[in-house]
Structure 1
Amino acid sequence: MDAEPVRAHIRALRAAGVGNRVLRAAGVSHNSITYILHGRGGRPPTSRVKRETAEKILAIPVPHSRFEYSPTGLTVDAVGTMRRLRALIAYGYTQADLCARVGQSPTWCSYVVTGRAKRVRADAAHAVAELFDQLQMVPGTDRRSRKLAQQKGWLPPLAWDEDRIDDPTYTPELLQHSKTVVDDFTDFEELLALGVHVEDACRRVGVSASTLEARYRRYERDTPQELLRLVWTQRRERKRGSKRREAV
């Protein structure tokens, strides 16, 4: 079958932090991966792939986060876990409640939330990410937690771009408290209807394209095709930039 979709899937897996170990565990040999991506013997990458090999590769989902396929005992950067816990506290959940939900001690939770932890176990990071996905659209009820987060400048879940929350170099857009998310949708869609370019519309609304697209998904609202195309292009460019940096 055509190798290009398979090749693109391998690249997407690598961009998400999935290495050859996972592919080999799925029954794909190192030689097959090399042949698909780079070719061999001076020949270009193959244009055809055995259906059996393709199905094994395409069956591996691109992970939501970089630590999803990490071995249980492996440690990962703690920044994404810290951000998710802080965001849920800002959304009205107590630190103690969150700790209990992910099966961690209050000491561990405090160490992560305050930023003292630089790395956490992959299984703990995964548990926090799953909890974040479950609660990010379900407001908590603890006012003290909300007040504490506000005093410390911790941002709520919707302020974070799902694709970049684990990136230590990422700084999210600040929410405009004078407007609701629905107001942003309305303003953005009106700008598009007036013929404003999608990138300019995002700038005028004051929200990055990726953050706005994530909010459309979280609110289960139909995302304008112009926005989807822009986000897809930006993600592709980020992946290319990451690969260029790795090659240096």
Structure 2
Amino acid sequence: MNKPARKPKPTACSKCGNPKVAGRGLCRPHYQQAYRAGTLDAHDTKADRADKPECPDDHKHDGSTVCYRNHGCRCAPCRARRSKEESLRSKQKAYGTYDSGFVDATPVRQHLQKLGEYGIGQRQAAELAEVSRGRVTAILYGRRGEDRSGQPSSKVDRAIAARILAVRLDFGSLAQNAVIPARGAHRRVQALMTLGWTLTEIGDRCGVSVHNFSAMMRREQMRAQTHRTVAAVYEQLSMTLPPSSTTAEKQAISRSQNHARANGYRPPLAWDDIDLDDDIAAGAVESEETPEIDEVAVELALTGTKVKLTKAERDAAITEAHRRRWSDQRTADVLRLNVRTIIRERDRLKLKAWPTKELIHVGFEE
């Protein structure tokens, strides 16, 4: 019985005409595409999509990977940009220096909320930070739409976070009768009391009687003009000690400082931003006894878990991060603190800064 004649071996890809045939009458790219798809039916490859951009021509195809990821564009500039970023990412992961470029959005969201308390809304905050209003809205409330979860962003680009956190209050632009939180004024008066200044002396310099000044210290809100007056007096006295030439003056200084110490008031240099900083450390009185440290809480905090730490536990976490040769910026990101706070606390704990070459920015090393 005669065997049927064999079909001639294909000399070119049946899809694109490529003379290099890998199998099934297909070139290597089409063969791999068919293998992944599980069918030999018509399908396209990177080569087929190379000259078929699916996003507007005015987009900067080589400026970012937005067109490649979101619009499915496969033009030459988009593919080159994508390849460049993937190559860089692979190298950074191999060297242990990879950083996604995103940070926790919670501090940024809290900062925007505090700005809102002082009358700086989304639009003005976006203009001051030089970011789009959509970014600010996404951080505060999340994105809306059919394909959006509606949940506030959990991560935000590091550069955008730095711009928003750099926005500071400008009380000079507020109307005199604008009602704002009294938190900043209260902190300024309390800081002066830690130096020995009394409410009577501060009130006299503000042009307010001690009775009205004490009432102001119990209110949660005040006029912007009153805040500006207190802030001006604070600028004059924050680096000056009160006169102590007589016995009465010394007694007044002692009473004021004792009252400040008993209530846990913080001195002027304890604040990074006296208007917007959190009240975590305010009101805490240091104990003469050795405080207990929860080692589990410290370890969780060093893994990035949000844990409420005592002052002693925070010191232990900063000390451990220094032992691991973490950079100040990485320690601040993991512990959710301002980098200036880390530097100040490290100096207080007498921990010398490591040379730049020995710092570990990403990863863990014993």
Higher alpha-carbon Rg: 2
Structure ranking higher in helix proportion: 1
1 or 2 for the larger relative contact order (CA 8 Å, sep ≥6)? 1
TM-score, normalised to structure 2, is 0.36
TM-score, normalised to structure 1, is 0.48
